[in-house]
Structure 1
Amino acid sequence: MKPAAPAPHRLPHLPFLQGLLPFDPAQLPHDIIAGITLAALGIPEVMGYTKIAGTPTVTGLYTILLPLVAFTLFGASRQLVVAADSATAAILAGTLTAVAAAGSKDYVALTSSVALTVAVMLLIARVFRLGFLADFLSRSALIGFLTGVGIQVAAGELAGLIGLARQGHGPLMQVASALQRVAEANYPTTMLSIGVLVVIVGCKRFVPRAPGALIAVIGSIVASGVFNFAGHGIAVTGEVPGGLPSLFLPPLHMGAINQVLVTAASCFIVIIAQSAATARAYANRYNERGDDNADIIGLAAANAAAAFTGTFVVNGSPTKTEMLDDAGGRTQVAHLTTAAIVLLVLLFLTKPLSLLPAAVLSAIVFMIGVKLIDVKGMAELYRMQKDELVVALLTAGVVVFVDVMHGILAAVVLSLIAHARHSYRLRTRVLTPGPGDSWIARHVEPNLLAAPGIVVYRFEADLFYANTGRFTEEVLKLVTEASPGLRWVVIDASEINNIDYTAGKTLIQLGGELDKHGVGIAAVALPTGVRHEIERYKALRMTGVHREVFATVEAAIEALRELPPPTSSSSQGGSFESNKE
């Protein structure tokens, strides 16, 4: 994990430029270099994604022009790179080819219509403040998610490293296919890939500040032109049309509207979750505070910009975000630099770009995938929290063996399960007197008294439907297994911040059950906690029931020390009533 950077001071009154401000002059050179590096690495990568999406090569360049600028203006993340992404590109190809031929004019128009529809969906999501959905992604799930994406990306580039076409569905099939065809490898391409990997790894190892990938890209383009790589069997990118994209409103195809909506909905799910997962992962890395709802606005603006410039859906990209982060980029200045470089390329440099060997792109993307595999994070989970390691491994497994979208859903579901598990397996204690005025928290066992005839039971979690059974079981065990003479059970609710309806009804039933045993029940609750909720349930109590609510354990002990409990004939049920302060 990278060393944490101090969280920059945000300007909450500004609805835009949150990823850019405050401006740090000392960081400017690093952001500019990172932006140039991202352009050098991202340009060939997004061109490769057009092959997945089934659109013209130049549309890949359009995804890192105006969409990058739009997210810089309206997004909040200082690291997230919004551009073409393999997951959404695959969704487009898998759904829109049912209504139009890939690469055709109609197909390209449909991809732009999908981008505009996604933008509208994201705006609706912002209205309903659905950014909170990212709260249900635990850090362990994020580690697993990015690891799974890294494995998926790296596996997909193995064939390209040796000059073969990618075959097979999913990482395992792609690896198996590449290994089965290794005898057919193109040796010049393989040697070039090895050379690029050596340059990248060597710079990282011996000259960490040197942009190894950028050096590899420039060097390979020069070598390709000088030694005619294409004539020696080494595949190159090929002709890339230049010029700026035209601005237009995507046409509405009524005959394909259902397919557009289904495709947009699928992309929307991936975008809102993957972008949040990636932004949060990098915000956590640098101890920064993100704004998921502002990022949704930024993503909506970026997809609208993509739609109006004739390209396809853009998404928060884990690979390009890692590219930028690895090159030292820390703010959206780097993104603006990348957009400026792309503008220059479109105007003047598409011819040199056509000489770039395809193997160089495969090597760069392969290394990015390897870096996304968070071995250190997994090892730390193994040492510190093995149950959360299971969450990370399961999330990574779903991404690798199924797909990214289901991996994201798995991350959310597993995070919710982990939360429910921790809430259910809560810590409960019985308090006994300690030295001076202190209290000693002990494991729950009968006959551990706070004072003669009084037991204090502390419940250290919110009381809700899933754990009321544990609550009732332990309180009744303290009563039924106690030696004669137990008169009061004091529930220390000072650590409880919420009581739901099921729990409130349980308190009523428990009060009646303890009455039958001749044991009274009282509570310790704070005004800032659940005191008002306990008092609200007095409306449900049976007539004549006497309950106490105290501000401290000491106050409860002092008041109840000589007070006899209610008799079993007083009531068959009840709740707490606030009589003591």
Structure 2
Amino acid sequence: MTNNPFNHHSPRLLLGGILPLQRPQLAADVVAGITLAALAIPEVMGYTRISQTPVVTGLYTMLLPMLAFAVLGASRHLVVAADSATAAILAATLAGVAHPGSTAYVGLTTLVAVMVGVLLVLAAVLRLGFLADFLSRSALIGLLSGIGLQVAAGEFGGLFALPKQGSGALQQVLSVLPRLGETRTDHLLVSVAVLALIVGCRRYPRVPGALIAVVGAIAVSGLFDLPARGLPVVGTVPGGLPQLGLPPLAGVPWNQVLITAASCFVVILAQSAATSRAYAQRYQERCDENVNLVGLASANLVAGLSGSFVVNGSPTKTEMVDEAGGRSQIAHLSAALVVLLVLLVFTGPLALLPAAVLSAIVFLIGVKLVDLEGLRELWQLQRNEFLIALATAITVAQVGVLQGIVLAVVLSLIEQVRHTYRPRTRLWCPNGEGTAWQTLPVGPGRFAAPGIVAYRFEANLFYANANRFTEEVLAVVNQPDGPVRGLIVDASGIDDIDYSAGKSLQELAGELASRGVRTALVTASSTMVKELRSFGIGASANSVGTFPSLKKALHALEQALEPSSSPC
């Protein structure tokens, strides 16, 4: 990791992403901010194609929301602005209650941003930053990949000047094929040129391919008067500062607004936390997620009040700043100033921008979101989690983002319960030389000492796995390779026991006593000892006691038993 002079400072409640200043770094931060603006302005304009809102609302997300997070957030690195994931959620969940792009629809998107801000405020007050952990990294890979497929498929027809048809990603792609004869040649040529330019510039990360494409396309559009030739363009983009005001509240479909806000809230928690933690670890910094929630809440509140839509911590924009040398929110303040300049001076030329340019940019955004590397790594390392990611991606792409989020959370929790329900269990046994201990899978003939088995359970005991614990212990004691007269239960991997598991342990202790099997417990936790004894475990006449180590438990049990001839 890179050493950093800001290391080990406690997170601040104000200006945590800016202070303390390091003067030699200021110039690099300013340059990084200008680079961010050059790369991200075309991107956020593209996100408005996803969210189905006016182009200027994308620029608004890089003004007041970015300033708000810079002042109130804790992360020095996280860039908060428009994001493809939350933009896709807006379109997927609000399009059914208002016509996309209409005044009513835009009003709903601003109201959702305000509601997301309220939810984030509540999460910060209640210190619920830990909720981000309930969407696993594998589920997040699947979620973002599914959104990428959905976004790319939805814009595939736009590359050919064809309207989107179909409700799922696969249907949307297939619907284009029989309509290729309706393609506008000039529109397709612009799309192909923009795709080639942006992809070619990726070999040089600091070259703003999207910005070059936007500026070049505007110049060509004006020079050859492409709007007069019938080529679709963005049209008038309002200039000046955004107008502040409350979203309209009359006739609001609150049920849909709250569902949309809750969906965005979950994604923001998971994605922003994962990104801010990654960069805090990279630079050995502390980053309080609950303070970040305050920054994210303020960013979304001002987004809604300034006529924009939901903002989120963006991994791609954060990486843009980091690659450009930015190390604090000064870079983001610089980017906001560039956006302000664009709003005040350069919105006029944006009206000439061909729609094909935004279609190409959005298509590439979607393709980039499909995390093939993450999916490949999951396939190699954790097949079960790969299946979770794949199922989530397919659900998002074919059914919807909301359904994908629900499935991702449910599958993540099921996978965790599965690990706890069927944890790893082992038997302690001396190694071949008898000089050290080793753990082996549970099976017959594996003794810690003649007539004694040592069983280790590596998870908390609760109602769902208590029966498995009991059955496996009885199977170990009842093995055919020799009489088992002593049992050591290594409980050092158990941190908690619920009521159902405690009662099962009581019944197990009675069964072992009836078979004449003496027992000993291993745990170094005084809390666990107290909890076990509250159920009458570890202090009965059949037990020789509780010990902090396997060696001590084995010694005590050997003294309490007659020697036997069973080998290890």
- TM-score after normalising by structure 1: 0.85
1:97 aligns with 98
Identity of aligned residues (%): 47
- Larger RCO, structure (CA 8 Å, separation 6 or more): 2
The alpha carbon displacement at 1:352 in A equals 1.0
Deviates more, 1:483-492 or 1:285-294: 285-294
2:206 aligns with 209
1:570 aligns with none
2:81 aligns with 82
- CA contact under 8 A between 2:36 and 2:317: conserved in structure 1? no
Deviates more, 1:115-124 or 1:146-155: 115-124
- CA contact under 8 A between 2:544 and 2:556: conserved in structure 1? no
Deviations 1:351-371 (Å, cap 9, x if unpaired)?
A: 111111111111112112111
The alpha carbon displacement at 1:510 in A equals 0.7
Give the 3 Å change call, closer, same or farther, for CA 119–385 of structure 1 in structure 2: closer
Q: Which runs of 5+ in 2 are unaligned?
A: 563-568
Query: Secondary structure of 2:559's partner?
Result: coil
The alpha carbon displacement at 1:453 in A equals 2.4
1:371 maps to a residue whose letter is K
The alpha carbon displacement at 1:169 in A equals 2.2
**Residues of 2 paired with 1:58 and 1:94: CA distance?**
19
Residue of 505, 508, 533 corresponding to 1:507: 505
Give the 3 Å change call, closer, same or farther, for CA 160–483 of structure 1 in structure 2: closer
Deviations 1:490-528 (Å, cap 9, x if unpaired)?
A: 101122222222222221111001011111221011126
How many equivalent residue pairs?
Answer: 550
- CA contact under 8 A between 1:276 and 1:292: conserved in structure 2? no
The alpha carbon displacement at 1:94 in A equals 3.0
2:185 aligns with 187
1:279 aligns with 272
Query: Secondary structure of 2:496's partner?
Result: coil
- CA contact under 8 A between 1:211 and 1:327: conserved in structure 2? no
Give the 3 Å change call, closer, same or farther, for CA 109–198 of structure 1 in structure 2: closer
Deviates more, 1:120-129 or 1:39-48: 39-48
The alpha carbon displacement at 1:266 in A equals 1.5
The within-5 A match list for 1:523-534 is 523-527=521-525, 530-534=528-532
Query: Secondary structure of 2:420's partner?
Result: helix
The within-5 A match list for 1:11-50 is 11-20=9-18, 25=25, 27-28=28-29, 31-49=32-50
1:573 aligns with none
The alpha carbon displacement at 1:417 in A equals 1.6
**Residues of 2 paired with 1:114 and 1:34: CA distance?**
30
**Residues of 2 paired with 1:329 and 1:82: CA distance?**
17
**Residues of 1 paired with 2:402 and 2:3: CA distance?**
33
- CA contact under 8 A between 1:140 and 1:391: conserved in structure 2? yes
**Residues of 2 paired with 1:382 and 1:6: CA distance?**
34
1:551 aligns with 548
Residue of 212, 232, 250 corresponding to 2:229: 232
- CA contact under 8 A between 2:65 and 2:311: conserved in structure 1? yes
The alpha carbon displacement at 1:533 in A equals 2.1
Q: Which runs of 5+ in 1 are unaligned?
A: 566-581
1:486 aligns with 484
The alpha carbon displacement at 1:284 in A equals 6.6
Query: Secondary structure of 2:231's partner?
Result: coil
The alpha carbon displacement at 1:323 in A equals 6.9
Give the 3 Å change call, closer, same or farther, for CA 176–321 of structure 1 in structure 2: farther
**Residues of 2 paired with 1:523 and 1:373: CA distance?**
49
Matched, 1:264 2:257: yes
The alpha carbon displacement at 1:237 in A equals 0.9
**Residues of 2 paired with 1:452 and 1:375: CA distance?**
53
Deviates more, 1:40-49 or 1:178-187: 40-49
1:362 maps to a residue whose letter is S
**Residues of 1 paired with 2:169 and 2:16: CA distance?**
37
Give the 3 Å change call, closer, same or farther, for CA 183–330 of structure 1 in structure 2: farther
The within-5 A match list for 1:452-471 is 452-471=450-469
Give the 3 Å change call, closer, same or farther, for CA 108–138 of structure 1 in structure 2: closer
Deviates more, 1:75-84 or 1:264-273: 75-84
**Residues of 1 paired with 2:436 and 2:484: CA distance?**
22
Residue of 360, 369, 386 corresponding to 1:363: 360
Give the 3 Å change call, closer, same or farther, for CA 332–361 of structure 1 in structure 2: farther
Give the 3 Å change call, closer, same or farther, for CA 433–89 of structure 1 in structure 2: closer
Query: Secondary structure of 1:458's partner?
Result: strand
2:146 aligns with 148
- CA contact under 8 A between 2:35 and 2:324: conserved in structure 1? yes
- CA contact under 8 A between 1:322 and 1:368: conserved in structure 2? no
Deviations 1:9-40 (Å, cap 9, x if unpaired)?
A: 36434024444556672852662243222443
Query: Secondary structure of 1:407's partner?
Result: helix
Residue of 365, 372, 375 corresponding to 1:375: 372
2:257 maps to a residue whose letter is A
Deviations 1:205-262 (Å, cap 9, x if unpaired)?
A: 3x34322122111211122221222223322111112122223344543xx35x2x32
What is the alpha-carbon root mean square deviation over aligned residues?
3.1
- TM-score after normalising by structure 2: 0.87
1:293 aligns with 290
The alpha carbon displacement at 1:319 in A equals 7.0
The alpha carbon displacement at 1:140 in A equals 1.6
Query: Secondary structure of 1:548's partner?
Result: strand
Matched, 1:415 2:416: no
